């Protein structure tokens, strides 16, 4: 007998919870004409069945999707032959992310009374700390959505900050620490990019490579810090070149610099090399160990039409060979790579 009563109580509750969770309007048919209760959002006692039906439908309309009930505790009380009291504690998980309701414990008291053959709900009292529910709301959807929007804007701001930090990091990893111009890493990247572009558009890529003459002697005589300043002054002067899209002035290493000139033929590259050479002379940085008494550079120039016959490193190799030629034929001059081997 007792077992059957327990089963009855459990099934009444299960049926109620299922209808409530699935937002099933049939639930309203279970309300007794003698209904009284209070809703969690208002704490106002409702003494009319019709009013309670209105509140229930408002609840279902506000959140039409299924809600998830996570049961925490349940007490079934067999009060009299025809009165059952059920007390339940649960979390309500609304179908929106991060619902704060799911962290609150809902406390529900349901009183069922047997009327004729049916068990009807004569009292329903739910209590959830619904302080943030706006007027006319069963659930504090407006506040939850506001909270979500706030979270989204925080995430957006953080994403932007992260992208900015990444940009700064990218710039830092592509910049030479001493001279503040592009470094070897950036040059390698740009070379590959411009080489591929040149291959696609069938346009030549030129490279100017320059190296300070007798820089070891400069350091030995003026000191390493003065050597650093000299490198900075040179980089600063060089940075007025390579301003067109795809062009790049970079420190290749030590006292060696490169100027990448995409879509540039050999003659134009040699003209630019001449301007670079003159600019460095015009800086007139004292260097008593050279013939002119100022810092000079040796320059190698190469130009290739990118094709499958050779890769981008061939261009570097040719510019390097031309630079070696300039060094070995007296320094402070410009040489271009074979086959032309032009002398200026």
Ligand X SMILES: Nc1nc2c(ncn2[C@@H]2O[C@H](COP(=O)(O)OP(=O)(O)OP(=O)(O)O)[C@@H](O)[C@H]2O)c(=O)[nH]1
Please report, as ranges, the residues that interact with ligand X according to CB under 6 A. Answer: 178, 211-217, 219, 224, 227-228, 231, 254-255, 327, 331
As measured in angstroms, the least distance from the Cβ of 314 to ligand X is 23
Our CB check for ligand X shows the closer of 196 and 328 to be 328
Residues in contact with 270: Cβ distance below 8 Å, sequence separation at least 6, in sequence order = 301, 334, 336, 342, 344
CB 287 to ligand X: min, Å: 10
Nearer CB in complex with ligand X: 40/300: 300
Q: Tell me how far CA of residue 168 lies from CA of 162, 163, 164, 190, in angstroms.
A: 10, 9, 6, 18
Residue 133: C-alpha distances to residues 52, 100, 101, 116, 163 (Å): 18, 12, 11, 38, 37
To ligand X, the closest distance from the beta carbon of 220 in angstroms equals 8
Compute the least distance from the CB of residue 331 to ligand X, in Å. 6
Which residue's Cβ lies closest to ligand X? 227
Q: Taking the complex as a whole, how short is the minimal distance between the CB of residue 178 and ligand X, in angstroms?
A: 6
- Comparing CB distances to ligand X, the nearer of 194 and 255 is 255
CB nearer to ligand X: pick between 212 and 249: 212
Looking at beta carbons only, is 224 or 244 nearer to ligand X?
224
- The continuous run of DSSP H or E covering 87 comes out as strand 83-93
């Amino acid at each position: 007998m007792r077992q059957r009563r327990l089963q009855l109580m459990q099934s009444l509750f299960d049926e109620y919870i299922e209808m409530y969770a699935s937002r099933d309007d049939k639930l309203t048919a279970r309300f007794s004409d003698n209904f009284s209760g209070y809703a969690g959002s208002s704490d106002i006692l409702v003494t009319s069945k019709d009013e309670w039906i209105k509140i229930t439908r408002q609840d279902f309309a506000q959140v039409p999707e299924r809600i998830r009930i996570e049961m925490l505790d349940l007490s079934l009380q067999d009060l009299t032959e025809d009165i059952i009291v059920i007390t339940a504690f649960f979390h309500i998980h609304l179908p929106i992310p991060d619902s704060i309701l799911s962290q609150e414990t809902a406390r529900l008291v349901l009183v069922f009374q047997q009327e004729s053959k049916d068990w009807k709900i004569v009292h329903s009292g739910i209590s959830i700390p619904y302080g943030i529910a706006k007027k006319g709301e069963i659930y504090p959807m407006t506040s939850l959505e506001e909270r979500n929007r706030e979270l989204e804007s925080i995430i957006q701001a953080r994403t932007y900050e992260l992208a900015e930090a990444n940009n700064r990091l990218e710039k830092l990893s592509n910049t030479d620490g001493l001279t503040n111009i592009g470094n070897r890493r950036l040059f390698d990247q740009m070379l590959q990019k411009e080489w591929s572009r040149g291959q696609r558009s069938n346009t030549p890529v030129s490279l100017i490579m320059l190296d300070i003459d007798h820089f070891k002697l400069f350091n030995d005589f003026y000191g390493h810090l003065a050597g650093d300043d000299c490198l900075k002054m040179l980089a600063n002067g060089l940075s007025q070149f390579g301003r067109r899209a795809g062009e790049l002035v970079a420190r290749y290493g030590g006292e060696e610099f490169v100027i990448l000139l995409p879509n540039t033929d050999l003659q134009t590259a040699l003209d630019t090399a001449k301007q670079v050479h003159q600019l460095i002379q015009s800086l007139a940085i004292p260097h008593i160990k050279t013939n002119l008494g100022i810092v000079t550079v040796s320059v190698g120039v190469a130009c290739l039409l990118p094709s499958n016959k050779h890769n981008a490193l061939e261009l570097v190799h040719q510019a390097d060979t031309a630079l070696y030629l300039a060094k070995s034929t007296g320094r402070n001059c410009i040489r271009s790579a074979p086959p032309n081997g032009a002398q200026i």
